[in-house]
């Protein structure tokens, strides 16, 4: 594969453009804040979250199963607000992505539930530089399934060797490479900038 042919960049959102939205660390903080039983929440979350991220369950149903299956002294809106507060920007990486707009086609390729994904895209104006959102909740499949990468490539109309996947998880980067894409495992904006430059993305 030649690096000069890259035309398209696929971005993970959580852990790359933004902090993770509802990963282990974020869940632990919110669970503690509201005084939930951590072990019980974790067990209920484990069963519900695949359906949430595959788009087969909405946030309201997820919260019913994981939190509001019994009466609480707080509201759904208060809990959702706490969930949303976990999302914070990675300013240098966002600036890098915005600087590539117009010269490279850019899309998200991420695992996330519909409600949280919509909130994060709108709050941080990710659609200002992303041409499309290839999110698990819309495609009905999740990384690291190679099928989601192939589907994203097909929808973008790009060949694997013309695309690079940026993801903070090694397994997801490996899966992208398995279908012929370039991939960078994200560590920091500075590291990413150098890795992209090595692939001919300036």
pLDDT digit string (tens) for the chain, length 202 residues: 444 589 999 999 999 999 999 999 999 999 999 999 999 999 999 999 999 999 999 999 999 999 999 999 999 999 999 999 999 999 999 999 999 999 999 999 999 999 999 999 999 999 999 999 999 999 999 999 999 999 999 999 999 999 999 999 999 999 999 999 999 999 999 999 999 999 999 8
Residues 9/202, Cβ–Cβ less than 8 Å: no
Q: Which is it for the CA torsion 195, 16, 147, 103, positive or negative?
A: negative
- 119 with 168, same domain: the answer is yes
**CA 200 to each of CA 146, 149, 190: distance values in angstroms, whole numbers, following the listed order:** 25, 21, 16
- 120 with 191, same domain: the answer is yes
Give the range of the structural domain holding residue 72, as residue numbers without chain letter: 24-85
Cα–Cα distance measured from residue 20 to residue 116, given in angstroms and rounded to the nearest whole number = 11
**Measured in whole angstroms, how far is the alpha carbon of residue 71 from the centre of its chain?**
31
Overall number of domains in the chain: 2
Nearest to 20 by CA among 129, 169, 196, 171: 169
Q: Of 85, 101, 130, which one is at a domain's C-terminal end?
A: 85
Cα–Cα distance measured from residue 59 to residue 115, given in angstroms and rounded to the nearest whole number = 6
């Amino acid at each position: 594969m030649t690096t000069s042919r890259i035309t398209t960049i696929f971005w993970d959102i959580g852990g790359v453009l933004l902090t993770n939205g509802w990963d282990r660390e974020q869940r632990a903080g919110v669970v503690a804040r509201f005084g939930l039983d951590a072990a019980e929440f974790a067990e209920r979350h484990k069963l519900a979250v695949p359906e949430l991220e595959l788009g087969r369950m909405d946030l309201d149903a997820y919260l019913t199963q994981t939190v509001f299956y019994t009466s609480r002294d707080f509201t759904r809106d208060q809990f959702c607000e706490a969930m949303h507060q976990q999302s914070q920007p990675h300013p240098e990486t966002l600036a890098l992505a915005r600087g590539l707009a117009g010269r490279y086609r850019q899309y998200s390729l991420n695992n996330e539930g519909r409600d949280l994904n919509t909130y994060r895209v709108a709050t941080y104006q990710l659609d200002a530089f992303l041409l499309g959102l290839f999110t698990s909740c819309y495609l009905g499949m999740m990384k690291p399934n190679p099928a989601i990468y192939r589907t994203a490539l097909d929808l973008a109309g790009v060949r694997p060797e013309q695309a690079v996947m940026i993801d903070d998880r090694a397994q997801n980067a490996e899966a992208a490479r398995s279908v012929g894409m370039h991939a960078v495992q994200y560590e920091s904006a500075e590291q990413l900038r150098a890795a992209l430059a090595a692939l001919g993305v300036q």
